[in-house]
Structure 1
Amino acid sequence: MLTLLLIVSAFFAGALNAVAGGGSFLTFPALILAGVPPLNANATSTVAVAPGALASAYGYRRELGKIKEVHLPSFLGVSLIGGLIGALALLWTPERTFEAIVPWLLLFATVLFAFGPKVSAWIRRTVTVGYSSVLVTQFFIAVYGGYFGGGIGILILATLGVFGLTDLHAMNGLKTLVSGCLNAVAVIAFVFGGAVYWTEALIMLVAAVAGGYAGASIARRIPPPILRKFVIAVGVAMTVYFFLVKA
């Protein structure tokens, strides 16, 4: 039963990351329910969803080819550096400390996911930024992504939107590519840090890749608001669980 839970959660996490983001809201609690400690669950979840994000990016390859506003090597470069720093910070965080801050991380990620589009729209109306500011912002987003990652897709989309990108499919493609790359470098740190539960990770990895590739097609057919509401509901449930049950 737990294996089925891991497979199903990873498949839909891969699809959600391609459509609306928030896949970690499914893989992280699934691993917790499977008995994996929070810090290791976070690292194992990253290992599981990283290939799925790259599979989604491949599904968006046509849209990615249309992006001219962003210099991809520099954008990916700051993302990789930030992701590595965040992952190392997680490995250096004591287990008890991470358990204490998990509820707050989940709360932040859930609120960000719920209100991110409105905040992003407000920022686009009031702020004009140059590309260097975008890179600095993306660096700090990547640090957060390497450390925890919940809601990172919303942050990336908001940054791209402020910079002036308007093609949502192209932005989703770039978001999944960047998320996959910064997660990949975080995976390297987690592997060498011995933080990964490999049995669970490998089971979920295969399912997430399948879900991620399918998600790029699903994104063109299912209204994102429906998926967003589901992800928000899961995020709220997990936040309440960690604040009340894990307190």
Structure 2
Amino acid sequence: MYEIPLIMLAGVAAGALNAVGGGGTFVALPALVAFGLSPVTANAVSRIALVPGAVASTWVLRNELTRVGTTSTKVLTAVSVAGGGAGAALLLVLPASSFDVAVPWLLAFATLVLAFGRRLSGALSAALGRSFSMSPRAVLIGQFFVAAYGGYFGGAVGILMLALWSTGLGLDPAAGNPMRVAQLAAIFLSATVLFLFASDALRVPLMLAAMLAGAVAGGFAGGHLARRLPAALLRAVLLTTAVTTTVLYFLRG
């Protein structure tokens, strides 16, 4: 039963990472696969387990939530829920083999976003001009596709959200982080409902409970840590984890 405490520790790390800067999937998914779960089941378990952690982080950061442009927060959250559900449905409908093939490339894509997302956002903002601002409808369309990606896979979805908001609206990533965490919870919520009824996640209750408990503790602690940890240090740790995980998945393949 040594695997249970290790999975719980992975949940703590994943919950904390999601609260501070994103990338919890880079820890949760490989940990579950390492203990024998298939990638599809591991993805479902991690998605379910990380919801309470994201809710705990949102509670800690509730007084720091910043509106995304002029877009209604309620509508933005509804779109996140819908997109997350669409992505989760896609995961369940497509053959498991397609997810196995896609995982390394999804990890690589998420790693590139993590490594170069800020530079790309700055370059696009400079090219489009300071006066450029996405309309609320465009923000919602972009949010839906980002949420669908999050429901299907989830790696670096929070980073993609910040890239969308900062590029299209000029929202400062640090100011947008609390709202990112809240929308992450919304994306994972609808995916969780589907996974509870249509995946194999409940066949491994001890693993699910261990990661969930760890994610709640990590999410709560990470919400407080987000106010104190130097952004450069966090980014370095997260990028190292992402690159290592991506390389290992390609070597598996």
- For normalisation by structure 1, the TM-score amounts to 0.93
Q: Does 1:29 align with 2:43?
A: no
Query: Shift of the alpha carbon at 1:59?
Result: 1.0
Corresponding residue for 1:230?
A: 237
User: Which residue does 1:19 correspond to in 2?
Assistant: 20
* Alignment gaps of 5+ in structure 1: none
Q: 1:100 to 1:168 in 2, by over 3 A?
A: closer
Which residues in structure 2 correspond to 1:94-105 (within 5 Å)? 94-105=95-106
Q: Quickly say closer, same or farther: Cα 1:66–1:97, change in 2 above 3 A.
A: closer
Moved more, 113-122 or 207-216: 113-122
Deviations 1:138-182, CA, capped at 9 Å, x for gaps: 010011000001010111111221343545444111101111011
| RMSD of Structure 2 on Structure 1 (CA) | 1.7
Return the match for 2:194 from 182, 189, 194.
189
**Pairing 1:160–2:165 present:** yes
Aligned residues: 246
Q: Given the alignment of the two structures, is residue 176 of structure 1 paired with residue 177 of structure 2, yes or no?
A: no
Moved more, 222-231 or 36-45: 222-231
Amino acid of the structure 1 residue aligned with 2:195: F
* 1:92 aligned partner: 93
1:72 matched residue in structure 2: 73
Q: Deviations over 1:157-214 (max 9, x none)?
A: 1122134354544411110111101101100111111231332111111111111111
Secondary structure of 1:31 counterpart: helix
1:110 is aligned to 2:111: yes
TM-score in terms of structure 2 length: 0.91
Runs of at least 5 residues in structure 2 that lack an aligned partner in the other structure: none
8 Å Cα contact 1:131-1:163 kept in structure 2: no
Aligned equivalents of 1:67, 1:160: Cα separation in 2: 7
> For 1:70, what is the secondary structure of its paired residue?
coil
Corresponding residue for 1:133? 138
For residues 180 and 16 of structure 2, the distance between their equivalents in structure 1, rounded to whole angstroms, comes to 14
Render the CA deviation track for 1:79-137: whole Å, top value 9, x for unaligned.
11111010000011212221111111111111111111222222333342211111100
Query: 1:198-239, CA deviations, whole angstroms, 9 ceiling, x for partnerless residues?
Result: 321111111111111111111111112212222221221221
AA matched with 1:110: T
Code of the aligned partner of 1:189: L
